[in-house]
């Protein structure tokens, strides 16, 4: 009697263990006992089943149990149904599809598929579908297809399930599988119909070349869908999962439905109520959004909008996920009102990522400025961890779409102020815009100059400001510029910034002679800087400034001045 409670005792002992070491000790002791039992040829089948049950538990906990493969095969070969079931369960749980030992099961599964006992056929089909690799399933193909016409409905359903595994492992068998299916078989049972539709969906996922041949069943599927969706109970639709499977199949034909099929989908839309399951609504929206009919597309957008407005993060995720799928191939189909700021403040990081991705997919030349303003507003309210992602989207949008140069520069400055970071690509693009557009050179120099005077300290944009001030100092007030240069030596900057500063001071000194004294004083200060490169650069600039009026250096930098 002690052994009869072995599995329960093992579970209790494992749950009582307080450390991983205690658990390992209990499991290793139990495995040693099982090994001893395996060597006992007089051990009854009941205890063999008990040992396999223990090993399934041990395997689920992550411990090795490969020594019991042959014990499982012996049980699967037993004539007793209970022992056979435990054996197949052990094979399914303990063996991998790449294991060569599975080949030993092929003959036994083939034998059980031809049994007179439907229950044995059922577990053999389940085992073949779960453990069968390409070689095993090819060997079992004739027996699986033969069971499509079995008298028991549940055997037919499980045979179709095994056929799904067959076409996944061996796509070349799809034609043979489809040849066994007809309308009479599909209409024999609602469960069989659902199983066949799942098989069709799997085939379309594997290869679109069968799309035309499977379109023959489109009207039958729509008729069946209406019949199920109209059959309601107190809690709404009685069989929502079947509807989900049917809609997944219809999704592949949604963009080309017409006539009776289109009228069937319109009939489906009339049966959507508040009690309709969200899983059904999701699949309905997925089908409607792919349809050419404007009314169906609008209904699909309404369903998605209800998901996006829901307080549930799960529904928001579903709505955003579907919108991203649709926008990937046709952004114009998505007409929902996206509350970007609200989604970016959601606690679920996946919702935030999907909202950012969707907003970027919906960008076009007409709405780019409006959407980028939304991004900038989000930078003021969302978590700082999202700043890098939002800044990246802004940078990509500015690089993709053509915008006004002044607006581009203002956006770069605002991004830098709000997020304290600017991608280098944006800085390079700003330089090119300023160089190539004479009309914004004065504006750019003044804008960046006053940004620097306001205490702005973002490194990349500071370098842009130093460059612009050095290139176009004629646009700035001499007193303000003189004071700005004098204050530079009192501030602390990174070495890279000082490279730009010395270049700027040199250019200003050459182009604005009235403040040459301040420039010389600042360069003299940097000639004693700790960095050798900066020392050398400052000394060379001092020499050039000293000989500026009498040498060829006079015309050195005039090419970058603003054209009249």
Element (H, E) at 236: strand 236-237
Interval 213-257: pLDDT, tens: 898 888 888 888 888 887 776 566 777 888 889 889 988 888 877
Residue 214 belongs to a domain: yes
d(CA 421, CA 403): 21
Q: What is the pLDDT of residue 564?
A: 35
Residue 219 belongs to a domain: yes
Contacts 24+ apart (CB under 8 A), 259-265: 260/219, 260/222, 261/218, 261/219, 261/222, 262/291, 262/293, 262/296, 264/219, 264/222, 264/223, 264/225, 264/226, 265/222, 265/291, 265/293, 265/296
Residue 444 belongs to a domain: no
The reported pTM is: 0.72
Q: What is the pLDDT of residue 173?
A: 92
Residue 563 DSSP class: P
Three-state SS for 233? strand
Q: How many domains does the chain have?
A: 1
Share of the chain above pLDDT 90, in %: 14
Residue-averaged pLDDT of the chain = 84
Residue 74 belongs to a domain: no
Interval 352-394: pLDDT, tens: 888 888 888 888 888 888 888 888 888 888 878 888 888 888 8
* Residue 378 · residue 344 · CB < 8 Å: yes
d(CA 261, CA 251): 12
Q: What is the pLDDT of residue 2?
A: 44
* Residue 100 · residue 73 · CB < 8 Å: no
Residue 356 belongs to a domain: no
For residues 1-24, average pLDDT: 79
Residue 83 belongs to a domain: no
Give CA angle at 251 (241, 324), nearest 5°: 100
* Residue 10 · residue 30 · CB < 8 Å: yes
Q: What is the pLDDT of residue 70?
A: 84
* Residue 315 · residue 278 · CB < 8 Å: yes
Q: What is the pLDDT of residue 97?
A: 67
Residue 211 belongs to a domain: yes
Residue 236 belongs to a domain: yes
Three-state SS for 232? strand
Interval 410-465: pLDDT, tens: 988 888 888 888 888 888 888 888 988 888 888 999 988 888 887 777 788 888 88
CA-closest candidate to residue 434, choices 421, 443, 425: 443
Query: Domain range for residue 213?
Result: 207-308
231 to 240, 250, 300, 370: CA distances (angstroms) = 10, 20, 22, 46
d(CA 390, CA 561): 36
Q: What tokens does 325 get?
A: 């799928």
For residues 488-505, average pLDDT: 86
d(CA 351, CA 89): 39
Q: What is the pLDDT of residue 230?
A: 78
d(CA 197, CA 234): 27
Backbone φ and ψ for 422, nearest 5 degrees, come out as -140, 130
Q: What is the pLDDT of residue 234?
A: 58
d(CA 366, CA 509): 44
Interval 517-527: pLDDT, tens: 888 888 888 88
> Is residue 328 predicted with pLDDT exceeding 70?
yes
Interval 32-83: pLDDT, tens: 888 888 777 777 878 888 888 898 898 888 888 878 788 888 888 888 888 8
* Residue 114 · residue 106 · CB < 8 Å: no
């Amino acid at each position: 009697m002690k052994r009869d409670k072995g599995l329960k005792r093992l579970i209790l002992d494992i749950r009582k263990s307080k450390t991983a070491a205690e658990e390992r000790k209990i499991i290793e002791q139990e495995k040693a006992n099982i090994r001893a039992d395996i060597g006992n040829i007089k051990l009854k089948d009941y205890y063999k089943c008990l040992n396999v049950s223990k090993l399934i538990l041990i395997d689920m906990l992550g411990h090795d149990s490969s020594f019991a493969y042959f014990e499982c095969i012996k049980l699967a070969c037993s004539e007793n149904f209970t022992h056979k079931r435990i054996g197949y369960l052990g094979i399914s749980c303990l063996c991998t599809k790449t294991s060569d030992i599975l080949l030993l099961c092929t003959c036994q599964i083939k034998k059980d598929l031809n049994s007179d006992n439907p229950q044995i056929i059922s577990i053999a089909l389940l085992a073949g579908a779960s453990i069968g690799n390409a070689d095993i399933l090819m060997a079992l193909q004739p027996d699986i297809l033969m069971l499509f016409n079995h008298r028991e409905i549940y055997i037919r359903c499980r045979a179709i399930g095994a056929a799904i595994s067959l076409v996944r492992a061996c796509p070349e068998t799809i034609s043979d599988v489809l040849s066994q299916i007809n309308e009479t078989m599909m209409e024999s049972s609602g469960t069989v119909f659902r199983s066949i539709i799942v098989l069709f969906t799997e085939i379309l996922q594997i290869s679109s070349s069968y799309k035309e041949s499977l379109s023959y069943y489109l009207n039958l599927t729509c008729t069946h869908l209406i019949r199920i969706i109209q059959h309601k109970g107190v809690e709404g639709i009685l069989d929502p999962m079947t509807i989900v499977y049917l809609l997944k199949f219809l999704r592949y034909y949604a963009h080309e439905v017409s006539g009776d099929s289109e009228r069937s989908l319109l009939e489906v839309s009339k049966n959507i109520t508040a009690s309709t399951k969200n899983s059904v609504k999701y699949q309905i929206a997925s089908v409607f959004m792919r349809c050419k009919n404007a009314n169906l597309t609008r209904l699909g957008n309404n369903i998605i909008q209800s998901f996006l407005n829901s307080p549930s993060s799960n529904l928001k995720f579903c709505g955003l996920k579907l919108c991203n799928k649709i926008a990937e191939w046709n952004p114009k189909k998505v007409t929902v009102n996206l509350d970007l700021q609200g989604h970016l403040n959601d606690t679920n990081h996946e919702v935030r990522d999907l909202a950012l991705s969707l907003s970027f997919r919906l960008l076009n030349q007409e709405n780019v400025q409006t959407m980028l303003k939304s991004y900038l507003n989000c930078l003021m309210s969302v978590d700082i961890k999202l700043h890098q992602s939002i800044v990246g989207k802004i940078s990509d949008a500015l690089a993709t779409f053509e915008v006004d140069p002044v607006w581009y520069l203002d956006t770069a400055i605002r991004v830098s102020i709000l997020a304290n970071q600017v991608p280098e690509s944006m800085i390079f693009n700003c330089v090119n815009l300023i160089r190539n557009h004479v009309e914004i050179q004065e504006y750019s120099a003044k804008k960046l100059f006053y940004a620097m005077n306001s205490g702005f300290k973002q490194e990349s944009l500071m370098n842009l400001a130093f460059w612009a001030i050095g290139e176009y100092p004629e646009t700035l007030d001499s007193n303000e510029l003189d004071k700005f240069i004098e204050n530079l030596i009192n501030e602390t900057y990174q070495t890279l910034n000082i490279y730009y500063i010395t270049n700027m001071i040199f250019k200003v000194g050459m182009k604005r002679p009235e403040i040459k004294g301040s420039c010389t004083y600042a360069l003299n200060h940097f000639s004693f800087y700790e960095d050798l490169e900066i020392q050398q650069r400052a000394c060379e600039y001092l020499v050039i400034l000293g000989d500026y009026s009498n040498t060829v250096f006079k015309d050195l930098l005039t090419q970058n001045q603003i054209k009249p």
